[in-house]
A and B are shown apart, each in its own frame.
Chain A
Amino acid sequence: MVRKVWIGIIIAIIIGLVAAVWIRQSPKPVEPNIKTSNLEIGVILPLTGGAASLGKASLSGMQLAIEEYNSAKTAGGPTVDLAVEDDQAQPAKAVAAFQKLIVTPGVRLVLGPLTSGSTLAVAPLAGKNHVVILSPGGSAPAITNAGNYVFRNELSEAYGARAQAELAFSRLGFKSVALLYVNNEYGVGTVSVFRKRFEELSGRIVADEGFNAGATDFRSALAKIKAAKPGAIFVVFQDEIVNILKQRIELGISASVYTTPVFEDPANLKTLGPLAEGVIYTYYGSFSPDAQTGATADFVAAYKKRFGNAPTYYAALGYDAARIEIAALQSAQFDLEKVKDSMYRIRNFPGVTGETSFDHNGDVTKPVSLKIVQGGRFVAH
């Protein structure tokens, strides 16, 4: 008897949940192609989990861009809203988020996912459902061939890490390098391109140490690297740099640290203080939080006013990604069927991370430059 009551309760709960979902969905009108009143852009970013700090910065940039558009838009243009989903940088969660976005606000345009794994997981669905996705940070080489509807605003590692290897060998004169990288799609992807190019240039990889995302104890890896006596340590990280630099000093390793654009986060300077001095990193595009004039300076000022801190590299990528999608919408006159084609037509879009044009694979080309921390600031090297 009691059992029957339980089953009844469960069934009632399930019916209630299904009904709730149904009711939330039902007001959805038959979708017109041309949006005039209100338009939602889907957002898939990691807002919890190990990559949350990158995702949150990116989201802030996107929010700022949308707010600027909405307050400046001319009469007749629709108001744009963001429908935000958290994928925790996990591909399966990104797929679930994507499935939800295309149904319940019915979005046809997505900003994100941020991480390469999630972007690759969502890509086939984007093609199948004719949804344009623009990843602000996915850098894996495989994204290049992930389909017609997949764009990204970050340099592919096929170019980025290749340029990193060339700069390390030729400009910085490192003839032997130790690799220390996060053991995920970002770290492994970057390092494999870097290693190939660096060895082609007759450079030597003297140590190869992967660590799991979120690791805190690098002493064994660093001790191995110390014994290999490299000219520099190429570090690819997401959230782990503080302990790496700290333990490098503790172990008395003098080799230079050479790392990626992720390093340019003002919070790193604040936490690391003097430990950040002399760290060299490559930088994609031309964004600088210290810009004094022009559109970049306006962005930095507006961002500081809105969020109370200086924008990071990922905030700038998010800001540009949102503005690029809006520009594509505008040039398609808000006809959602034509957005994909107008994305491909974008030429020399004046973003704060540099001029952006998409090639026929939806990839961008950006200048790769060297930067260094000097006097507690990020400066060109």
Chain B
Amino acid sequence: MEYLLHILVLVGIYTTLSVSLDLLAGYTGLLSIAHAAFYGLGAYTSALLAVNLGAPFLVGVLAGMTVAALVSFVVSLPSLRLHDDYFVIATFGSQMILFSLFNNWIDLTRGPLGIPGIPPPVMFGWTVQSHFEFVLLTAVLAGFTYLVVSSIATSPFGRVLRAIREDEVFAQAMGKNTLYFKVSAFAVSAALAASAGSLYAHYITYIDPTSFTVMESILVISMVIIGGAGSRWGPVIGAVVLVTLPEALRFLGLPIGVAANLRQIIYGILLVLMMMFRPQGLVGRYGFGR
């Protein structure tokens, strides 16, 4: 049973990631491949605060979100002047640079040695320890993220984001400062990803840079796309499918030496098939220009 709870925690963390990325990718049309880097920023900030300074969990989460939002401004600077595939490449570059910092700034992050012994989250006298309690906590976080993103999406602010996605020049012509809207969406998205990172760090109790690679970013963007970008439930469904599918494949008795590769191959094929036959995702409507 513990194992199913573990999967549920992962589903919650990835739902947070994919829903928060959807604000940027689905609603605003900015396909970022730097999401894992912001996820990592959150994980590192709260892990370092907890291990070195004994900071409480919520302080770590808020600090991680703040750091991610600040870094997102720096990343926005070159990225947001660009469009479509150039934006993708720019965020790819930011992802690689931030990963390089996690890996090589050894004095701060301990680099590849990783940070062990991250304590369990404590808040309001509640120590989150059992799997079941972690499921509750991640459910709260994922629900919070969902509410934030969907209330932004249905607000006037969200309508401007969609206008930018459909036609940025038109949005500008309507007198909207599109850069302001894009930078804000980027910061909110990054901060929410960071909160998932904090939770991940305190759950696994050990972090190192390998959890925050560009491949992780590609996985999260695939969740958004496969589920359905810019739709209410799409990113949630994408996260559920892409987390549970590989775990379920574990039980099919694949030969152990190739199982990891086969799981990747299946998700790659899934992504290609979706692009060919259902680019708007399983439940989505918006298909990046269709």
Asked whether A34 is an interface residue with its Cβ less than 8 Å from the other chain, the reply is: no
Task: Give 24 pairs: A residue, B residue, CB < 8 Å, sorted on A.
Answer: A6-B282, A10-B241, A17-B245, A48-B260, A84-B256, A91-B114, A91-B204, A91-B207, A91-B208, A91-B211, A92-B204, A92-B210, A96-B10, A103-B2, A103-B3, A104-B3, A117-B206, A121-B114, A146-B116, A184-B112, A185-B112, A185-B208, A187-B112, A188-B113
Residues of B within 8 A of A48 (CB): 257-258, 260-261
Q: Report yes or no: B257 in contact with A47, Cβ–Cβ below 8 A.
A: yes
Could you tell me the distance in whole angstroms from the C-beta of B219 to the nearest C-beta in chain A? 12
Q: Which B73-117 residues sit within 8 Å CB-CB of chain A?
A: 103-104, 106, 111-114, 116-117
Q: Residue among A20, A96, A146 with the most chain B CB within 10 A? A: A96
| With A49-B260, A188-B111 already in contact, 14 other A-B pairs whose C-beta atoms are closer than 8 Å | A7-B233, A10-B240, A10-B283, A17-B245, A47-B260, A48-B260, A84-B256, A88-B260, A91-B204, A91-B211, A103-B2, A121-B204, A124-B117, A185-B113
Asked whether B4 is an interface residue with its Cβ less than 8 Å from the other chain, the reply is: yes
Q: Which B5-20 residues sit within 8 Å CB-CB of chain A?
A: 6, 10
Asked whether A102 is an interface residue with its Cβ less than 8 Å from the other chain, the reply is: yes
B282 nearest CB neighbor, chain A only: A6
A13 to B260, alpha carbons, bound, how many Å? 21
Q: Report yes or no: B240 in contact with A121, Cβ–Cβ below 8 A.
A: no
Asked whether A240 is an interface residue with its Cβ less than 8 Å from the other chain, the reply is: no
Q: Residue among B112, B205, B251 with the most chain A CB within 10 A? A: B112
Could you tell me the distance in whole angstroms from the C-beta of A326 to the nearest C-beta in chain B? 21
Could you tell me the distance in whole angstroms from the C-beta of A374 to the nearest C-beta in chain B? 34
Q: Report yes or no: B3 in contact with A6, Cβ–Cβ below 8 A.
A: no
Q: Which A22-68 residues sit within 8 Å CB-CB of chain B?
A: 24-25, 47-49, 56
A120 nearest CB neighbor, chain B only: B116
Q: Report yes or no: A10 in contact with B237, Cβ–Cβ below 8 A.
A: yes
With A10-B283, A17-B245, A56-B257 in contact, do A117 and B114 touch (Cβ < 8 Å)?
yes
Asked whether A228 is an interface residue with its Cβ less than 8 Å from the other chain, the reply is: no
With A10-B237, A14-B240, A86-B260 in contact, do A99 and B6 touch (Cβ < 8 Å)?
yes
B103 nearest CB neighbor, chain A only: A183
Q: Residue among A25, A49, A185, A189 with the most chain B CB within 10 A? A: A185
Asked whether B244 is an interface residue with its Cβ less than 8 Å from the other chain, the reply is: yes
Q: Which of A21, A90, A187 contacts B251 (CB 8 A)?
A: A21
A380 to B10, alpha carbons, bound, how many Å? 50
Q: Report yes or no: B241 in contact with A13, Cβ–Cβ below 8 A.
A: yes
Asked whether A3 is an interface residue with its Cβ less than 8 Å from the other chain, the reply is: yes
Asked whether A267 is an interface residue with its Cβ less than 8 Å from the other chain, the reply is: no
Asked whether A142 is an interface residue with its Cβ less than 8 Å from the other chain, the reply is: yes
Could you tell me the distance in whole angstroms from the C-beta of A213 to the nearest C-beta in chain B? 8
With A21-B248, A121-B116, A185-B114 in contact, do A85 and B241 touch (Cβ < 8 Å)?
no
Q: Report yes or no: A183 in contact with B206, Cβ–Cβ below 8 A.
A: no
Q: Which A67-125 residues sit within 8 Å CB-CB of chain B?
A: 84-86, 88, 90-92, 95-96, 99-100, 102-104, 117, 120-121, 123-125
A21 to B247, alpha carbons, bound, how many Å? 9
Asked whether B269 is an interface residue with its Cβ less than 8 Å from the other chain, the reply is: no
Chain A residues engaging chain B, CB cutoff 8 angstroms: 3, 6-7, 10, 13-14, 17-18, 20-21, 24-25, 47-49, 56, 84-86, 88, 90-92, 95-96, 99-100, 102-104, 117, 120-121, 123-125, 140, 142, 146, 183-185, 187-189, 210, 212
With A86-B256, A121-B205 in contact, do A20 and B248 touch (Cβ < 8 Å)?
yes
A17 nearest CB neighbor, chain B only: B248
Chain B residues engaging chain A, CB cutoff 8 angstroms: 1-4, 6, 10, 103-104, 106, 111-114, 116-117, 204-208, 210-211, 233, 237, 240-241, 244-245, 247-248, 250-251, 256-261, 282-283
Q: Report yes or no: B6 in contact with A24, Cβ–Cβ below 8 A.
A: no
A103 to B5, alpha carbons, bound, how many Å? 11
Residues of A within 8 A of B259 (CB): 86
Q: Report yes or no: A85 in contact with B256, Cβ–Cβ below 8 A.
A: yes
Residues of B within 8 A of A104 (CB): 3, 251
Q: Report yes or no: A86 in contact with B257, Cβ–Cβ below 8 A.
A: yes
Could you tell me the distance in whole angstroms from the C-beta of A89 to the nearest C-beta in chain B? 8
Could you tell me the distance in whole angstroms from the C-beta of A59 to the nearest C-beta in chain B? 9
Q: Report yes or no: A14 in contact with B244, Cβ–Cβ below 8 A.
A: yes
A85 to B106, alpha carbons, bound, how many Å? 30
A140 to B206, alpha carbons, bound, how many Å? 15
B264 nearest CB neighbor, chain A only: A48
Residues of A within 8 A of B112 (CB): 117, 183-185, 187-188
Could you tell me the distance in whole angstroms from the C-beta of A73 to the nearest C-beta in chain B? 24
With A100-B3, A189-B113 in contact, do A17 and B260 touch (Cβ < 8 Å)?
no
Q: Report yes or no: A121 in contact with B206, Cβ–Cβ below 8 A.
A: yes
Residues of B within 8 A of A47 (CB): 256-257, 260
A102 to B114, alpha carbons, bound, how many Å? 24
Residues of A within 8 A of B240 (CB): 10, 14
A15 to B85, alpha carbons, bound, how many Å? 37
Could you tell me the distance in whole angstroms from the C-beta of B147 to the nearest C-beta in chain A? 20
Q: Residue among A21, A88, A104 with the most chain B CB within 10 A? A: A21
Residues of A within 8 A of B210 (CB): 90-92, 117
Q: Which of B104, B241, B256, B258 contacts A183 (CB 8 A)?
A: B104
Residues of B within 8 A of A185 (CB): 112-114, 208
Residues of B within 8 A of A92 (CB): 204, 210-211
Could you tell me the distance in whole angstroms from the C-beta of A26 to the nearest C-beta in chain B? 11
B100 nearest CB neighbor, chain A only: A212
A24 to B240, alpha carbons, bound, how many Å? 20
Could you tell me the distance in whole angstroms from the C-beta of A268 to the nearest C-beta in chain B? 22
A13 to B243, alpha carbons, bound, how many Å? 13
